[in-house]
Amino acid sequence: MHTSPEPAPPAPQAVLLDRDGTIVVDVPYNGDPDLVQPMPGAREVLDGLRGRGVRLGVVTNQSGIARGYVTRDQVDAVNARVEELLGPFEVWEVCPHGPEDGCGCRKPGPGMVLSACARLGLEPSEVALIGDIGADMGAAVAAGARSVLVPTDITLEEEVLAAPAVARDLAGAVRLLGVGAS
Protein backbone atom coordinates (compact mmCIF):
# COMPACT_ATOMS: atom_id res chain seq x y z
CA MET A 1 0.00 0.00 0.00
CA HIS A 2 1.36 3.40 -1.00
CA THR A 3 0.81 6.41 1.24
CA SER A 4 1.27 9.97 0.16
CA PRO A 5 3.39 12.29 2.25
CA GLU A 6 1.50 14.70 4.46
CA PRO A 7 0.83 17.94 2.60
CA ALA A 8 2.68 20.94 3.95
CA PRO A 9 0.47 23.13 6.13
CA PRO A 10 -0.61 26.38 4.51
CA ALA A 11 1.61 29.38 5.07
CA PRO A 12 0.53 31.38 8.12
CA GLN A 13 -1.53 34.51 7.59
CA ALA A 14 0.23 36.19 10.51
CA VAL A 15 3.58 35.79 12.24
CA LEU A 16 4.00 36.70 15.89
CA LEU A 17 7.51 37.45 17.03
CA ASP A 18 9.21 37.44 20.36
CA ARG A 19 10.96 40.78 20.91
CA ASP A 20 14.24 40.29 22.79
CA GLY A 21 16.69 37.95 21.11
CA THR A 22 14.43 37.43 18.10
CA ILE A 23 13.91 40.79 16.38
CA VAL A 24 16.15 42.97 18.58
CA VAL A 25 19.36 42.21 20.44
CA ASP A 26 18.52 41.12 23.98
CA VAL A 27 19.39 43.77 26.57
CA PRO A 28 18.07 42.37 29.87
CA TYR A 29 15.37 44.57 31.42
CA ASN A 30 15.93 47.27 28.84
CA GLY A 31 14.25 50.56 29.68
CA ASP A 32 16.35 52.70 27.32
CA PRO A 33 15.14 53.14 23.72
CA ASP A 34 18.68 54.17 22.69
CA LEU A 35 19.88 50.61 23.42
CA VAL A 36 17.49 49.01 20.92
CA GLN A 37 19.46 47.32 18.15
CA PRO A 38 17.74 45.20 15.48
CA MET A 39 18.94 41.64 14.98
CA PRO A 40 20.98 41.34 11.76
CA GLY A 41 18.69 41.12 8.74
CA ALA A 42 15.49 41.57 10.78
CA ARG A 43 14.25 44.67 8.92
CA GLU A 44 14.64 43.04 5.52
CA VAL A 45 12.87 39.84 6.60
CA LEU A 46 9.99 41.73 8.23
CA ASP A 47 9.59 44.03 5.22
CA GLY A 48 9.58 40.95 2.98
CA LEU A 49 6.77 39.43 5.03
CA ARG A 50 4.77 42.64 4.88
CA GLY A 51 5.32 42.74 1.11
CA ARG A 52 3.74 39.29 0.86
CA GLY A 53 0.72 40.37 2.90
CA VAL A 54 1.70 38.54 6.08
CA ARG A 55 0.42 40.33 9.17
CA LEU A 56 2.91 40.84 12.02
CA GLY A 57 2.71 41.15 15.78
CA VAL A 58 4.99 41.07 18.80
CA VAL A 59 4.43 38.98 21.96
CA THR A 60 6.87 39.75 24.76
CA ASN A 61 7.31 38.85 28.42
CA GLN A 62 8.49 41.91 30.35
CA SER A 63 8.90 40.67 33.92
CA GLY A 64 11.19 43.62 34.63
CA ILE A 65 7.99 45.62 35.23
CA ALA A 66 6.82 43.27 38.01
CA ARG A 67 10.35 43.10 39.43
CA GLY A 68 10.62 46.90 39.60
CA TYR A 69 13.60 47.09 37.21
CA VAL A 70 11.71 49.07 34.57
CA THR A 71 8.41 50.93 34.41
CA ARG A 72 5.61 50.24 31.95
CA ASP A 73 6.34 53.65 30.41
CA GLN A 74 9.98 52.63 29.84
CA VAL A 75 8.91 49.35 28.21
CA ASP A 76 6.42 51.25 26.05
CA ALA A 77 9.21 53.66 24.99
CA VAL A 78 11.46 50.72 24.05
CA ASN A 79 8.58 49.14 22.10
CA ALA A 80 8.01 52.44 20.30
CA ARG A 81 11.67 52.42 19.26
CA VAL A 82 11.35 48.82 18.04
CA GLU A 83 8.30 49.90 16.06
CA GLU A 84 10.23 52.85 14.62
CA LEU A 85 13.16 50.65 13.54
CA LEU A 86 11.32 47.48 12.49
CA GLY A 87 7.60 48.26 12.27
CA PRO A 88 4.83 48.60 11.66
CA PHE A 89 3.42 45.77 13.75
CA GLU A 90 -0.32 45.28 13.73
CA VAL A 91 -0.47 43.91 17.27
CA TRP A 92 1.62 44.24 20.43
CA GLU A 93 1.04 41.96 23.43
CA VAL A 94 3.11 42.67 26.56
CA CYS A 95 3.02 40.57 29.73
CA PRO A 96 4.13 42.77 32.67
CA HIS A 97 4.00 39.90 35.19
CA GLY A 98 6.72 37.92 36.88
CA PRO A 99 7.00 34.13 36.75
CA GLU A 100 5.48 33.78 40.23
CA ASP A 101 2.39 35.85 39.42
CA GLY A 102 0.50 32.94 37.87
CA CYS A 103 -1.02 34.99 35.06
CA GLY A 104 -2.40 33.47 31.89
CA CYS A 105 -0.55 35.79 29.56
CA ARG A 106 3.08 35.06 30.40
CA LYS A 107 4.80 32.73 27.95
CA PRO A 108 4.84 29.68 27.96
CA GLY A 109 1.15 30.23 28.69
CA PRO A 110 -1.01 30.80 25.62
CA GLY A 111 -2.63 34.09 26.72
CA MET A 112 -0.72 36.59 24.60
CA VAL A 113 -0.84 34.37 21.51
CA LEU A 114 -4.58 33.82 21.88
CA SER A 115 -5.17 37.53 22.48
CA ALA A 116 -3.09 38.49 19.43
CA CYS A 117 -5.01 35.96 17.30
CA ALA A 118 -8.34 37.36 18.50
CA ARG A 119 -7.24 40.93 17.81
CA LEU A 120 -6.11 39.87 14.30
CA GLY A 121 -9.36 37.98 13.70
CA LEU A 122 -7.47 34.74 13.03
CA GLU A 123 -7.52 31.23 14.41
CA PRO A 124 -4.30 30.11 16.13
CA SER A 125 -3.85 27.50 13.38
CA GLU A 126 -3.50 30.41 10.92
CA VAL A 127 -0.66 31.97 12.93
CA ALA A 128 2.97 31.14 13.67
CA LEU A 129 5.28 32.33 16.42
CA ILE A 130 9.03 32.79 16.03
CA GLY A 131 11.12 33.02 19.19
CA ASP A 132 14.46 32.21 20.77
CA ILE A 133 13.57 30.18 23.87
CA GLY A 134 11.40 27.28 24.93
CA ALA A 135 8.79 29.54 26.54
CA ASP A 136 8.05 30.96 23.07
CA MET A 137 7.58 27.47 21.65
CA GLY A 138 5.43 26.46 24.64
CA ALA A 139 3.13 29.45 24.18
CA ALA A 140 2.61 28.64 20.50
CA VAL A 141 1.93 24.95 21.17
CA ALA A 142 -0.44 25.75 24.06
CA ALA A 143 -2.39 28.15 21.82
CA GLY A 144 -2.47 25.81 18.80
CA ALA A 145 -0.17 27.93 16.63
CA ARG A 146 2.87 26.83 14.65
CA SER A 147 6.31 27.79 15.91
CA VAL A 148 9.95 28.02 14.91
CA LEU A 149 12.86 28.41 17.32
CA VAL A 150 15.79 30.63 16.34
CA PRO A 151 18.39 29.78 19.00
CA THR A 152 20.72 32.37 20.51
CA ASP A 153 23.50 32.07 23.08
CA ILE A 154 20.91 31.85 25.89
CA THR A 155 18.83 29.08 24.30
CA LEU A 156 19.22 25.82 26.20
CA GLU A 157 20.14 22.64 24.33
CA GLU A 158 17.00 20.91 25.61
CA GLU A 159 14.89 23.77 24.20
CA VAL A 160 16.47 23.24 20.79
CA LEU A 161 15.86 19.48 20.96
CA ALA A 162 12.23 19.96 22.02
CA ALA A 163 11.35 22.65 19.45
CA PRO A 164 8.91 21.70 16.68
CA ALA A 165 11.17 23.43 14.13
CA VAL A 166 14.55 25.14 14.38
CA ALA A 167 16.14 27.69 12.05
CA ARG A 168 19.55 29.35 12.07
CA ASP A 169 18.11 32.86 11.70
CA LEU A 170 14.92 34.81 11.16
CA ALA A 171 15.07 34.40 7.37
CA GLY A 172 15.41 30.63 7.78
CA ALA A 173 12.45 30.56 10.17
CA VAL A 174 10.31 32.38 7.62
CA ARG A 175 11.35 29.88 4.93
CA LEU A 176 10.41 26.96 7.19
CA LEU A 177 6.96 28.49 7.59
CA GLY A 178 6.53 28.56 3.82
CA VAL A 179 6.26 32.31 3.46
CA GLY A 180 9.63 32.85 1.80
CA ALA A 181 12.27 35.34 2.85
CA SER A 182 14.03 38.27 1.32
- Among 64, 88, 86, CA closest to 75: 64
> Do you find a cis peptide bond into 7, omega within 30 degrees of 0?
no
Calculate Rg over the CA atoms of the chain. Answer: 16
Catalytic residue list contains 32? no
Among the listed residues 20, 76, 136, 153, the single catalytic one is: 20
Catalytic residue list contains 18? yes
Task: Report the catalytic residues.
Answer: 18, 20
